[in-house]
Amino acid sequence: MLSGWRYRLESVAGVALLTVIAVTVANSAVVHGLLGRLPVVGRLAADAPMGTELLFEIATTVVVVTAAFVPLYKPRPRRILDTVALAQKRVMVAMFALAAVGYFDYTYRLPRTTLIAITPALLVLLPAWFVWIRRRPSTETDRVIVVGDDPAEIERLAGDVDLPLLGYLCPTSSFDSIAGSGEPRAVATAVADGGAQIRGLDRLGGLSRIEDVLVEYDVDTAVLAFEHTDRAEFFGALDACYEHGVAAKVHREHSDRVLTGDDDVGTLVDVDVEPWDVQDHILKRGFDVAFSLSGLLVLSPVIAGIAAAIKLEDGGPILYSQERTAVFGETFEVYKFRSMIENAEELSGVKISDEDEGEVDPRVTRVGRVLRQTHLDEIPQLWSVLRGNMSVVGPRPERPELDTDIQTGVIDWRKRWFVKPGLTGVAQVHDVTGAEPDKKLRYDLQYVKRQSFSYDLKLIVRQIWKVLADVVEAVR
């Protein structure tokens, strides 16, 4: 990735040049002829501006568009999808600004034909430009840091990195614990003025500063040197790398095929923190939106009937919300139709329902028992899918309290967090619940490894068939 003044210069020049090209082409006779055939804008495209008028249009558009893109001129690591979305937002800001300028001052008005022609062009060209300079190979050395919680592990992995290192991140407490053990190691030196050296590297701060450091130093790669890769700190570092488009590497001893590619070689291997490619990601999100919207509309009569049944049974609330664990351990609110007595968890605490273990849960109401048997209590989660907190297919999200309990007894449970949670998944179509965490984890990791849009469709078909069978069984 380009950095510093070179990135700023090329990004500004690219925006200006592409804008000039877009306005020039938009005012060509060919484009005006095509626009003239459209009934909506035909009367606006009679004559193409020439000479001074065209130069004035180009200058006005370039000034407004380049000004609108100021937030993107600072070199900062971003994911491709974030770069595209942000660039498209700046294009729309620029177009609204140009329209507003013409509305308040006719002297600087840009013809509507020009706006109509350049808007779709810039929505494609400018995001593509910023993605290209972001991904463009650079002759400059990659900017690499080491992030970890164990100074000894940091020292070991720093020696395996072939590229020059900018520094490392590590909690102060890690140095204190080693120094207190009496171990005579160079890495056990006291931390003075916020930093201590390991292999001549400066300490850039603690783990809480990882996002600031990634942005401030324009980091390309982070080497993760954690003693335990199943702890929240490790996933927090991965989350920061994921959000800022930074490549992550781990030692092969700490890798797993869930986390890394099959073709990795050497001591350090790449972590695949974004297993979906751009096309699949867009396709999956588009399907999630279409599925959730369609489901909410088609099932609206069913939703009304369920709401009435719950209210008539005991007069309590129709919905209840729970906090669930999402990607990389973050949490979100999920809604379901209430299937238990009111305040059930306040009375008995948070626990896996007895029904998940094949027994009868006395907290479940009569209406709730039918809802659970037919899976209709899950309908409100379509709203979570529409909002983007969940997907149609993925590991079922658990309560944070239950996640904590399960993690103490199941190794690698956190690896489920590498994908967005879903309404259904491999474990659900096999009738496996949180009551069997080892078996559920095996199915969830199977999805993490095999995930694809076609695989999602197969699971959805199986789940729909299963729900229909359960509905028929409940009616009988």
pLDDT(25) > 60: yes
Residue 70 confidence (pLDDT) above 70: yes
- Both tokens of residue 62? 């370039």
pTM: 0.51
The pLDDT score that the predictor gives to residue 295 is 92
Q: How far is CA 227 from CA 170, 174, 199, 318, in A?
A: 12, 11, 18, 46
The three-point CA angle 353-358-363 to 5° equals 35
Domains and CATH numbers, the chain: 4-135 (no CATH), 144-271 (3.40.50), 278-475 (no CATH)
The closest alpha carbon to 336, from 383, 293, 389, 390, belongs to: 383
pLDDT of 308 reads 92
What's the 3-state SS for 197-217? CECCECEEECHHHHHHHHHHC
Q: Check residue 320 and report its DSSP letter.
A: E
- Look at residue 469 in the predicted model and tell me its pLDDT: 82
The string of pLDDT tens digits covering residues 311-357 is: 898 888 898 888 887 766 677 888 888 888 877 666 555 555 555 55
Count Cβ neighbours within 10 Å for each residue of 419-433 and write b for 16 or more, e otherwise: bbbbbbbbbbbeebb
